[in-house]
Amino acid sequence: AQKITQTQPGMFVQEKEAVTLDCTYDTSDPSYGLFWYKQPSSGEMIFLIYQGSYDQQNATEGRYSLNFQKARKSANLVISASQLGDSAMYFCAMREGVTGGGNKLTFGTGTQLKVEL
Amino acid sequence: DSGVTQTPKHLITATGQRVTLRCSPRSGDLSVYWYQQSLDQGLQFLIQYYNGEERAKGNILERFSAQQFPDLHSELNLSSLELGDSALYFCASSVGQGRDTEAFFGQGTRLTVV
């Protein structure tokens, strides 16, 4: 079963506009973390923002904010004032514990964002 | 720059061969994770080490193995390589192994098997 679902394979946004990238997740663990990463065409994975399952407030990091709706199991990324440099693939990920005390990140399939002039 | 260093950046090798990918975590990070990114499988978790001990295992093939050394650097060994092993291999590190710790990724090693 898909644990992280990103339903938008591709998105377009005009420069300076805001854009929301959708992410829903599925877990029965009460303790988990949600992450967003950016992967530009050069390939590196850049950490953007984190939300803990017990956090009461939505996480924000500069132009990035995470719209966390726990009951709906959604963790949408909002990018305000889009810039050309925001064009990239964006991945939503969930960290869960595994047997033995470790943990792992499970990634969605990604959303390709293109910022246009 | 995330502070996680992976070498080499690119690797081209033939089927049947063995390669070693190296990862140096951020200073102070005890956990190291390996991920594989391929076109058909997406980003897949392979294995996690914490302070030298294996802590979590994902969809890692028996032909693949990893270890974390006392200086906390890690190596991923891939043997009997097949064309399907061609992928981008990422290492990530975090301070601890709690679920709320951020994981920072290296730039990846792009492996091409010909």
CA distance B99 to chain A (A): 6
Take residue B3 and report the two structure tokens written for it: 């502070």
Task: Name the residue in chain A with its Cα closest to that of B39.
Answer: A109
B23-42: per-residue pLDDT in tens? 999 999 999 999 999 988 89
- Close Cβ partners of B50 (under 8 Å, ≥ 6 residues apart): A101, A102, B30, B31, B32, B68, B96, B97
B82-96: per-residue pLDDT in tens? 999 999 999 999 887
Task: Name the residue in chain B with its Cα closest to that of A105.
Answer: B45
Give the mean pLDDT of A60-70: 96
A67-77: per-residue pLDDT in tens? 999 999 999 99
Average pLDDT, chain B: 93
Give percent above pLDDT 70 in chain A.
97
A24-43: per-residue pLDDT in tens? 999 988 888 999 999 999 99
Give percent above pLDDT 70 in chain B.
96
Mutate: best of A37, A39, A44, partner B, most B CBs <10 A: A44
Best CA proximity match to A91, nearest among A33, A55, A48, A52: A48
CA distance B108 to chain A (A): 7
